[in-house]
Structure 1
Amino acid sequence: MKTRFRYNGGAARTLGGFILAGVAALMLLLALPGFAGAVVFSDVGKSSAEDEAVQYLVAAKVLAGYSDGTFRPGQPVTRGQAAKIVVAQQGVAPASSACRFADVDSTFAAFVEAAATKGWVGGYPDGQFRPYDSLQRQHMAVILVRSMGWEAQAKALSGAQVQAALGRFPDVNGVSGEASKYVALAVTKGLLNGDAAGRLNPASGVTRAQAALMAYRAETSSLVVGQGFRASAAHADKTRVVLDLSTAPSEVMPRLLEDGSLEVTIPWATVPAAGLSVAVNSKEVGSVTATQGSYRPPSVIVRVELRQYSSYQVFILGPDSKNGYGNRVVVDVLREATNPGGVPLVAIDPGHGGWDPGAVNPFTGTQEKTVNLKIGKRLDELLRGVGLQTVMTRTEDVALGPTLSEDLTRRGQIANEAGATILVMIHNNAHDGDSNGTETFYWGTDDKNYSVEGKALAQTIQRHLVAAVGLRDRGAKTWYGKTLRVLDVAQMPGVMVEVAFMDHPTEGLLLEDPAFLERAARGIARGVLAHLGWDVELVPLT
């Protein structure tokens, strides 16, 4: 399970299980004594192993350089400095109480006490901490494993697992018995590696470069890492941009900026210090970049330069072993279509029709296709009445193809041909006679493969529809692990609304009531308006 950060004003997140304090408290922890902030150091080469780690941790205000513009990567790290590093990295406030170790002066007292309180550091049997002694590499591993919240994992390692992790190092006997499980876990997680001769050097003093690498590897092990872009304008209907990722993101947040570009925020993520970029130069997309948006909490900002286009969709997709793809975020920018004045165009698809009745009300014999069309027509009137453009896939009792597959495909095609901004499919449910409530589906199969814009649209419509009709909220979701054919074909964000259950004793009768159908149409309309950024009160509830 990934561990996360927390920041003021947001949901609780942690790194390694410990909570970040507020920004003001963190600012007290930035640099080791005598350091001044710098990003480029004269003694840290761009090709050096530690460069990326140093840049990241300096930008994150965990480390800093010296006032002469150096970082001094070969300088040893003291025990007091190590305590300060992990306190800064985990965002724990410096202790206000006296330090339990009498030999720790004011330079490190608050940080050592804070780290000791968390159980990350300890003293010697004589009660001393020895803050200015150099810290061994194996003890840096112990401190990081503890501060990241991995101590239970380390203690759970068997002797065979420890041997498997450490046995390849010729100086394995230099690892103390007390530190062996921590070091083994640090090696397994990639925090520690051997030198050119394959030695671990556990008792050697850890240098600033090595400490930076270990802290960086620990931190980024819990983050989504942007690996690179792929892009293609060869599609018949769109330009596709793909950002490959190390692991699946928990979510992404797209938004259009005032300058017309698309910004996609990926929380709990990181990219190389130099960022990532790709020059697409299609009719729809210019350049695309990914940069570190913030460090506390860590997030990546993807910026897509939009040119001429009709709409866009953002997807989170999981690994596809058949085609050799891993986790990724996909942005599809659809080719410009005829859409006078740029006013949003809503495609409305009343489900079923003609030879396909849909569900049947067992109490009245009313067919779902009839109810769907009534709600769809009223939704069309409401949206047109406030100035939106619409297109309906059907306005009469007709099917759109001789087979179900052809019918569903044609519905998506109609939305595409119109250049719709969003698609709303109107349906009603049926199951076992007891199931009840309102739900809205969007394209996807699970929480690792879905349309981000479709999910946002579904959540917004669901919220407003439930408020309008007052039925049980069954949520916005993907369709039982499968994608919907109409949404497979449609090139814009779309949803399938299931207003109520035709075969439920109460809801079946509600669907015969014109006043209920009016409330349903108004709820959906308000959800559409909210998603498009229009005033929902243009369509009052009553």
Structure 2
Amino acid sequence: MIHSRRSLTAIRRERRRKRRLRRRLFTFLTLIIIMSTFMFIKCSPNYIFTICIDPGHGGYDPGTANESYEVNEKDLVLDISLKLGKILEEQDVKVVYTREKDKIPWSTQIESLMGRSEISNDANADLFLSIHANDFTESSDVKGTEVWCRFENTEDEALAKEINYRLSNIGYTKNRGLRYEKDGELYVLKNTNATSVLVELGYLSNNNDLEFLSSEEGKEQCAQALAEGIMNYYHSKQEEQMDA
């Protein structure tokens, strides 16, 4: 009788083990199907590389400002964003904007953040780039670029590194490096499905950064650097897919 009970227990254990194995196999096959579908879409002749460009702030929200020079972040980043979009469109990239004018349909900050993420997600964008300028009222000596992503060793970081490298090559200001979620959580990076990066192009409280970013040449160079970083990242991903 004891022997029979032990046999029955062993049978039940074996059945449970097989059920676990079947569940794991099902999960694995599902992931393979999803990844295969994703790769098929990306390799399809109808696929168009899509980026969502997010000029920070806008409308009622000026962002940071240098009142002495009457420069608002929202205007500066919009100019650079539109220049960037034009460069990318000339390279057959589909560009989606969260705004193209100094108008936004949202009335609060949380609505604005949610709306920007939704635009990117609804467009099924491959990349999301939010463009901003910084400010530090305690000292006008602080300057430099920062590129934000969520975590290390991710596609977000790979894109951030490309953009950071291209911006630093301009040489107009200090390279303050990459920043991560551990340094501060950013809603748009956390809530967009695309590979996502936020860039701070400089400090409007610093006269050197302000002068460069406000100039037509500075805007053109920043837009070109951002485009080069984006396209270099994109081409590297294409090469990886071809080698896979």
Shorter-chain TM-score tier? 0.7 to 0.9
Which of 1, 24, 37 aligns to 1:308? It is 37
Deviating 4+ runs (over 6 angstroms): none
**Which residue of the partner structure matches residue 391 of structure 1?**
96
Gaps of 5+ in 2: 1-22, 237-244
Gaps of 5+ in 1: 1-231, 233-275, 288-304, 312-335, 445-449, 535-542
Taking every aligned residue pair, what percent have the same amino acid on both sides?
Answer: 27
Alignment pair present for 1:439 and 2:146: yes
Equivalence map 1:57-456=2 (5 Å): 279-282=27-30, 285-286=31-32, 306-309=35-38, 341-431=46-136, 432-444=139-151, 450=152, 452-456=154-158
In the alignment, the residues of structure 1 paired with residue 98 and residue 178 of structure 2 have an alpha-carbon distance, to the nearest angstrom, of 23
Q: For residue 359 of structure 1, what is the amino acid of its counterpart?
A: T
1:308 match: secondary structure: helix
Change over 3 Å in CA distance of 1:465–1:277 after alignment to 2:
farther
CA displacement 1:245-300 (0-9 Å, x = unmatched): xxxxxxxxxxxxxxxxxxxxxxxxxxxxxxx9774343xx327xxxxxxxxxxxxx
Change over 3 Å in CA distance of 1:376–1:469 after alignment to 2:
farther
**Which residue of the partner structure matches residue 462 of structure 1?**
164
1:307 match: secondary structure: helix
Q: For residue 96 of structure 2, what is the amino acid of its counterpart?
A: V
For the pair shown, the structure with the greater C-alpha radius of gyration is 1
Structure with higher strand content: 1
In the alignment, the residues of structure 2 paired with residue 310 and residue 482 of structure 1 have an alpha-carbon distance, to the nearest angstrom, of 33
1:435 match: secondary structure: coil
Alignment pair present for 1:529 and 2:236: no
In the alignment, the residues of structure 1 paired with residue 143 and residue 182 of structure 2 have an alpha-carbon distance, to the nearest angstrom, of 17
CA displacement 1:465-524 (0-9 Å, x = unmatched): 111353211111215633210112100111111111111021112122000010000000
Q: For residue 424 of structure 1, what is the amino acid of its counterpart?
A: L
Contact between 2:172 and 2:212, CA under 8 Å: does it hold in 1? Answer: no
2:119 match: secondary structure: helix
Change over 3 Å in CA distance of 1:482–1:490 after alignment to 2:
same
Change over 3 Å in CA distance of 1:277–1:351 after alignment to 2:
same
Change over 3 Å in CA distance of 1:340–1:433 after alignment to 2:
farther
2:46 match: secondary structure: helix
In the alignment, the residues of structure 1 paired with residue 188 and residue 175 of structure 2 have an alpha-carbon distance, to the nearest angstrom, of 24
Change over 3 Å in CA distance of 1:307–1:383 after alignment to 2:
same
Contact between 1:349 and 1:423, CA under 8 Å: does it hold in 2? Answer: yes
**Which residue of the partner structure matches residue 500 of structure 1?**
202
Change over 3 Å in CA distance of 1:405–1:479 after alignment to 2:
same
**Aligned length, in residue pairs:** 211
Which of 217, 222, 227 aligns to 1:520? It is 222
Alignment pair present for 1:474 and 2:147: no
Change over 3 Å in CA distance of 1:342–1:428 after alignment to 2:
same
Change over 3 Å in CA distance of 1:451–1:414 after alignment to 2:
farther
**Which residue of the partner structure matches residue 81 of structure 1?**
none
TM-score by length of 2: 0.79
TM-score by length of 1: 0.37
CA shift, 1:384, in A, is: 0.3
In the alignment, the residues of structure 1 paired with residue 55 and residue 186 of structure 2 have an alpha-carbon distance, to the nearest angstrom, of 15
Contact between 2:51 and 2:96, CA under 8 Å: does it hold in 1? Answer: yes
In the alignment, the residues of structure 1 paired with residue 200 and residue 182 of structure 2 have an alpha-carbon distance, to the nearest angstrom, of 14
CA shift, 1:451, in A, is: 6.7
Compare relative contact order (CA 8 Å, sep 6+) and give the higher one, 1 or 2: 2
CA displacement 1:74-126 (0-9 Å, x = unmatched): xxxxxxxxxxxxxxxxxxxxxxxxxxxxxxxxxxxxxxxxxxxxxxxxxxxxx
Change over 3 Å in CA distance of 1:351–1:459 after alignment to 2:
same
Change over 3 Å in CA distance of 1:401–1:481 after alignment to 2:
same
Contact between 1:442 and 1:455, CA under 8 Å: does it hold in 2? Answer: yes
